[in-house]
Structure 1
Amino acid sequence: MLNRPKKQLTAVLLGLAVAAAPATAFASPFQPQPAISGTQYQDRVDAPRAVGLDDPAKKDIAMQIVSSAENSSLDWKAQYGYIEDIGDGRGYTAGIIGFCSGTGDMLDLVELYSQREPGNVLEKYLPALREVDGSDSHDGLDPNFTGDWESAANDNAFKTAQNDERDRVYFDPSVNQGKSDGVGVLGQFIYYDAIVMHGDGGDPTSFRSIRNRALNEATPPAQGGDETAWLNAFLDARVWAMKQEEAHSDTSRVDTAQRVFLNNGNLNLDTPLDWQVYGDNFHIG
């Protein structure tokens, strides 16, 4: 989480591509095109589209499963005001996705909130959040930061800012990488949960390092590999990364949750779902 991903833009030089392509590659608009029968047209219309984790219903399931691990509750929308120091060396952990004062994502969130709502109750903590970034210090935050965070959580603008930062930093990158790797809803969720816990920086236990470790053992479907074999290799690498840090050494969110879904062949993360995290049982019907 300390090394946060940056958006990358890809320029599409369409004009150059068209100029470089042979003329025979393009059909003239004046050439007659084969007729499409009514049956063929209906087949195209009715062809099912692949559902990703960004489907609203699937995304809500993902948020519930992550909340079961982060907050011991499926009610993720009740977590905007959550805040505590869980003793993992990252300072305060708060909100719907565990924004941390020591890893920079909480700073980014409060900066976004302050851009949208100048003078909000958390804005005065921005200098302190910049100072404690990269540490577990509470300097400049105590004793009122936790109470002010809980107050801010009553503001819909703060809730929206949490949603937007969750998507920008964690959800969208994991879904995009999952689609690029050719994995379905479960695989995209497995990526998402890994990014939430480990971030997407360059350290040995970050998401991209976990993925690189898995590449030594298996091949993603987009490169011709078997999806289940690839996801098992990824989860093996994830478990290794979790065991490198005492605060994350309980691997039940993989062993008795994600691995269960995978072993059941539930690559689409369809309900009903039953799993355990840290000894607690959860069900989505």
Structure 2
Amino acid sequence: MSTAYTRRSVLSAAAVLALCATLAPAASASSGGDLNDPQKKEIAMELVSSAENSTLDWKSQYSYIEDIHDGRGYTAGIIGFCSGTGDMLELVQLYTDRKPSNVLAKYLPALEKVNGSDSHSGLDPNFKKDWATAAKDSVFQQAQNDERDRVYFNPSVSQAKSDGLGALGQFIYYDAIVMHGPGDDGTSFGGIRATAMRKAKTPAQGGNETTYLNAFLDARKAAMLTEEAHSDTSRVDTEQRVFLKAGNLALNPPLKWKVYGEPFEIDS
């Protein structure tokens, strides 16, 4: 993963809870499908992985870990959990709750201390090796899946449904929260959504779905350009915008796109 793939501001459990608390009862989404459908969710995982790890094989990324020097410490796993943003700490805590004797449990005090920084203090020299060992454990893999859903997938898809968006819009929200994190500041998911809603009405408000999603992608791109590590906006320009221009609000395959100049395709 290069520095072009970095994402999100510092997370907190409170921010996630605040986002979830603001979700209105889900309105019926557009005719464009539901990202909770297993096939659609698999597509979403592959799309995110193409941008985060340059592969469609997202399940090969449980063991991924490196410091990409973006100020967030170690970035690891299927969704890029970071030692400096709180979500890695919560992941390892969940793993330890489920399997107390796991190889990463001893790092919990260190992860608490480095949260909010790029420090490796208490993690080196063996944290990367031990992460790779843990990644072979199905319990740890499931913990990664569950934290991905709790922190990123479920809140973003629920909010998209409340806004009357179909599968493409649900994915656009999900990809945004993966990179930018939950929260209400201008470069977090909530702030990006608020900016978009000042420009266009959501379908739930009676607005046009395509018009609103273009406004959201405009706001997302502006947020990305405020940080050098996000200056390559191809995951918006040559991925999501391509699907939107094609009118593929249901995110139906076949899908062809590029991220960072690299072509990808999902046939079915």
Calculate the TM-score normalised by the size of structure 2. 0.90
Residue 5 in 1 paired to residue 46 in 2? no
The one-letter code sitting in structure 2 at the alignment partner of 1:243 is L
Structure 1 residues without counterparts, runs of 5 or longer: 13-48
SS in 1 for 2:199: coil
The one-letter code sitting in structure 1 at the alignment partner of 2:16 is P
User: Percent of counterpart pairs with the same letter?
Assistant: 68
SS in 2 for 1:216: helix
| Alignment partner, residue 110 of structure 1 | 92
The one-letter code sitting in structure 2 at the alignment partner of 1:60 is E
Residue 98 in 1 paired to residue 109 in 2? no
Structure 2 residues without counterparts, runs of 5 or longer: 1-9, 26-30
Map Cα deviations across residues 122-149 of structure 1 (whole Å, 9 max, x no partner): 0000000000100111111111000100
Report the Cα offset of residue 50 of structure 1. 6.8
Residue 195 in 1 paired to residue 177 in 2? yes
Distance 1:85 1:194 in 2: 21
Give the paired residue count: 248
Aligned pairs (5 A) from 1:174-193? 174-193=156-175
Further displaced range: 175-184 or 197-206: 197-206
Q: Which has the larger radius of gyration?
A: 1
| Alignment partner, residue 237 of structure 1 | 219
Runs of 4+ in 1 over 4 A off after TM superposition: none
The one-letter code sitting in structure 1 at the alignment partner of 2:102 is N
Greater relative CO (CA pairs within 8 A, separation 6+) = 2
The structure-2 alpha-carbon separation of the partners of 1:247 and 1:152, relative to structure 1 and needing over 3 Å to count, comes to: same
Residue 65 in 1 paired to residue 47 in 2? yes
Distance 2:191 2:185 in 1: 7
Aligned pairs (5 A) from 1:152-231? 152-231=134-213
Report the Cα offset of residue 230 of structure 1. 0.1
| Alignment partner, residue 5 of structure 2 | none
RMSD: 1.5
| Alignment partner, residue 263 of structure 1 | 245
The structure-2 alpha-carbon separation of the partners of 1:245 and 1:50, relative to structure 1 and needing over 3 Å to count, comes to: closer
The structure-2 alpha-carbon separation of the partners of 1:231 and 1:280, relative to structure 1 and needing over 3 Å to count, comes to: same
| Alignment partner, residue 30 of structure 1 | none
Map Cα deviations across residues 88-128 of structure 1 (whole Å, 9 max, x no partner): 11110000000000000000000000000001000000000
